[in-house]
Amino acid sequence: MSTQATDITRAPSPKRARRLPGSLAWHLGSLAVLAVILYPVVWVVGGSFKRSEDVVGSLDLFPADPTVSNYTSLADGIADISVSTFFLNSLFLAVGSVAGILISCSLTAYAFARIRFAGRNLLFTLMIGTLLLPYHVLLIPQYVLFRNLDMINTYTPLLLGKYLATEAFFVFLMVQFMRNLPRELDEAARLDGCGHLRIYWSIVLPLCRPALITSAIFTFINAWNDFMGPLIYLNEPSKYTVSLGLKMFVDQEGLADYGGMIAMSLVALLPVLAFFLAFQRHLIDGMATSGLKG
Amino acid sequence: MTHAPATQARAKDAEPRHGPDTPLRPSDPKTRGRRENLAGYLFLSPWIAGFLLLTAGPMAASLYFAFTDYNLFDAPRWIGLDDFSEMFGDPRWRHSVRVTLWYVVVGTPVKLLVALGVALLLAQKRRGQAFYRAAFYAPSLIGASVSVAIVWKAIFSDDAIVDRTQKAFGVDVGGWTGDPDLVIYSLVALTVWQFGAPMVIFLAGLKQVPRELYEAADVDGAGRFRQFWNITLPMISPVLFFNVLLETIHSFQIFSSAYIVGGGAGGNACGPADGSMVYTCYLYVQGFENSRMGLASAMAWMLLVAVALVTAVLFRSQKRWVHYEEGGR
């Protein structure tokens, strides 16, 4: 890879066109990486149109005689449960998580970023501490707690934390964003007699839209992809999420219905891919800023 | 409590003592301080409830369980350090530690090297840069899903593309997902495939390096490699640190992909001959399949200690290699 460090922040210039060999190498390099990145995705798209016995063994990316039987068999559902049930369950959890995160994390972030109260630094340190805490330490005691509260096989264990701002990453992201908002705005509002709630709702929240959108998308995708949570808390197939439905599919069918499994895998990815295509700017910029200020 | 008088005393002093973020308010400083405290804790109440109920409380409970024999049905029975001695004496536990360490030690550096390399490539402003950046980032979003794990299992199984390719090069070791020694490398490949997230952070860091530094180095006749070593690397070291920290902590906690890529149809959850039995997989098996909640809690605490140690070591090492810019050098 030819690393032209000097080009890093240089604005595109008309002279660039003359340096064709460098440009060619750059594009070749990028395309090579792209091919490796995309291979599994193309493979799964092609595989979903293959007959089950050809999915693994056949090296052709796309079958000569494509079949949609993998998709039509999905319509029969998995273990007598319609695939749409899994989707609706996942959707409910994902949307519920987004709502919870947006409300609870922005309130928390506002307190840390904009209110001077006794003990703020200590609590902020604690909050950052939870950012590094391995989830698995909480796994068992939380399970015991929710079991004692008779909440196993409900969605409460999967959602409650989202409404109680336990996702420190998003709090942190929003705190960073709020700290950069001009303070004169809330000072002016205070002089006009606004309390914190008004300032939060009418001034800070609207200005935080980029951070809120980033958090919402990440929350949705994380909730959609979540496997361990549903695996532990849900035990009735009709309540399963897409991830669990897929796992159940794998366990039941194994290699017998490889085509159906691949088709279902692809369908399960579609919402995430759609979100990505729609919001990739937000996602990538959100990642970049949170990383830089960390 | 002691806060209010302190605020009052400070309020009498000159402005600068306040710091830039003290709101100006035409009211009595004492009531203001009290009101700020009240507002602060009201806004924080969901977080405080969550912290106590879902973090601090469970952590304390977990610490207690770690010293008990607890199967969920009978009350926990205090057994002192027995869980820990059982854990350390368990060859499967030691095996899961080795598997996890290997995964972390191989996967994380390779992933970060690829991320940095591709970031350096993409840092050049050329047509298509934004497209490539987005495309390379995509796997980071879907990589943790069950779908991708299933695809991975297929791609790395016998007679699939990876197996055929290596056969074409005369390496006949079979599919990776069925092999106890190789299955872990399919997981490494899966994490490396998701290099996009650290790459985006590297890219953001690279954008912040002042161009003048390179121009000065050009004038001095420093080559590309010298420039990378003496300018780029120190300038992005905070970002590098952040990535190393995040990715390492993350790798220690891998679960879903190992559970699915390695797991057979309804059979062993931990891969062929425990080949992909990463730490959390074994923790899951002990806790939720064998109902050994006490033992699993002890295991979870060991993981916490390990992650905390690694974090502490990384933070301490910062002084040696991470350069933060604080108004000049």
- Cα separation of B65 and B22, whole Å? 45
* Residue in A39, A136, A252 nearest the CB of B303: A136
Q: With CB atoms and an 8 Å threshold, state whether B61 touches A145.
A: yes
Residue A255: its pLDDT value, please?
59
**Is residue A102 domain-resident?**
yes
**Is residue A75 domain-resident?**
no
Higher-confidence residue of A62 and B191: namely B191
Which region among A8-22, A71-85, A134-148, A240-254 has the lowest average model confidence (pLDDT)? A8-22
Which stretch, A32-36, A213-217, B110-114, B124-128, has highest mean pLDDT?
A: B110-114
Which region among A70-79, A160-169, B52-61 has the lowest average model confidence (pLDDT)? A70-79
- Cα separation of B303 and B316, whole Å? 20
- Mean pLDDT value across residues A76-98: 89
Q: Does A289 touch chain B (CB under 8 A)?
A: yes
Of the candidates A30, A10, A61, the residue with the CA atom closest to the CA atom of residue B134: A30
pLDDT band per the 50, 70, 90 thresholds, residue B224: confident
User: How many distinct structural domains can be found in chain A?
Assistant: 1
- A288 contacts on B by Cβ (under 8 Å): 200-201, 203-204
The structure tokens listed for B42 are 């009201």
Residue A2: its pLDDT value, please?
40
pLDDT band per the 50, 70, 90 thresholds, residue B278: very high
Show the DSSP H helices in chain B as ranges: 3-12, 29-50, 57-65, 82-89, 91-122, 129-142, 146-155, 161-168, 183-193, 196-207, 211-220, 224-227, 233-235, 237-252, 256-262, 279-284, 293-321
Whether B186 shows a pLDDT value over 50: the answer reads yes
**Is residue A124 domain-resident?**
yes
- A247 contacts on B by Cβ (under 8 Å): 146, 260
8 Å CB contact between A48 and A71: yes
pLDDT band per the 50, 70, 90 thresholds, residue A9: very low
Range of the domain at A170: 83-293
Q: Does A122 touch chain B (CB under 8 A)?
A: no
Q: What is the 3-state secondary structure (H, E, C) of A38-99?
A: HHHHHHHHHHCCCCHHHCCCCCCCCCCCCCCHHHHHHCCCECCECHHHHHHHHHHHHHHHHH
Q: For the segment B241-277, what is each residue's pLDDT rounded down to a tens digit?
A: 999 999 999 999 999 888 888 775 445 667 777 888 8
We report the CATH number of the domain holding residue A183 as 1.10.3720.10
- Whether the CA torsion B261, B266, B272, B277 is positive or negative: it is positive
pLDDT band per the 50, 70, 90 thresholds, residue B3: very low
Number of helices and strands in chain A (H, E): 14, 0
pLDDT band per the 50, 70, 90 thresholds, residue B8: very low
**Is residue A266 domain-resident?**
yes
Q: With CB atoms and an 8 Å threshold, state whether B135 touches A266.
A: no
Whether A13 shows a pLDDT value over 50: the answer reads no
CA distances from A9 to A125, A203, A257, B123, B267 (A): 35, 34, 51, 8, 53
Q: What is chain A's alpha carbon radius of gyration, rounded to the nearest angstrom? A: 24
- Mean pLDDT value across residues A103-118: 95
Which region among B26-30, B60-64, B159-163, B254-258 has the lowest average model confidence (pLDDT)? B26-30
- Mean pLDDT value across residues B92-108: 95
Query: b vs e for A260-290, b when ≥16 Cβ sit within 10 Å of the residue's Cβ?
Result: bbbbbbbbbbebbeebbeebbebbbebbbbb
**Is residue A153 domain-resident?**
yes
Whether B136 shows a pLDDT value over 70: the answer reads yes
Which region among A36-45, A93-102, B111-120 has the lowest average model confidence (pLDDT)? A36-45
Whether B202 shows a pLDDT value over 90: the answer reads yes
pLDDT band per the 50, 70, 90 thresholds, residue B17: very low
Residue A113: its pLDDT value, please?
94
**Is residue A168 domain-resident?**
yes
Residue B117: its pLDDT value, please?
94
- Cα separation of B42 and A117, whole Å? 11
Give burial (CB, 10 Å; 0-12/13-18/19+) of B291. middle
Q: Does B312 touch chain A (CB under 8 A)?
A: no
Whether B297 shows a pLDDT value over 60: the answer reads yes
**Is residue A147 domain-resident?**
yes
- Mean pLDDT value across residues A203-231: 92
Give CA A201 to chain center in angstroms: 26
Whether A277 shows a pLDDT value over 50: the answer reads yes
- Mean pLDDT value across residues B204-226: 88
- A141 contacts on B by Cβ (under 8 Å): 57-59, 61-62, 65, 297
- Cα separation of A168 and A154, whole Å? 24
Best of B27, B37, B47 to disrupt the A interface (most A CBs within 10 Å) is B47
Whether B329 shows a pLDDT value over 80: the answer reads no
Q: Does B189 touch chain A (CB under 8 A)?
A: no
Q: What pTM does this model have?
A: 0.86
8 Å CB contact between B86 and B92: no
Query: Hey, which residues 13-72 in chain A have their CB within 8 Å of chain B?
Result: 16, 23, 26-27, 29-30, 33-34, 36-41, 43-44, 47, 55-57, 59
- Mean pLDDT value across residues A16-45: 82
Average confidence score pLDDT of chain B: 85
* Residue in A1, A120, A147 nearest the CB of B117: A1
**Is residue A45 domain-resident?**
no
Whether B302 shows a pLDDT value over 90: the answer reads yes
% of chain B surpassing 90 pLDDT = 53
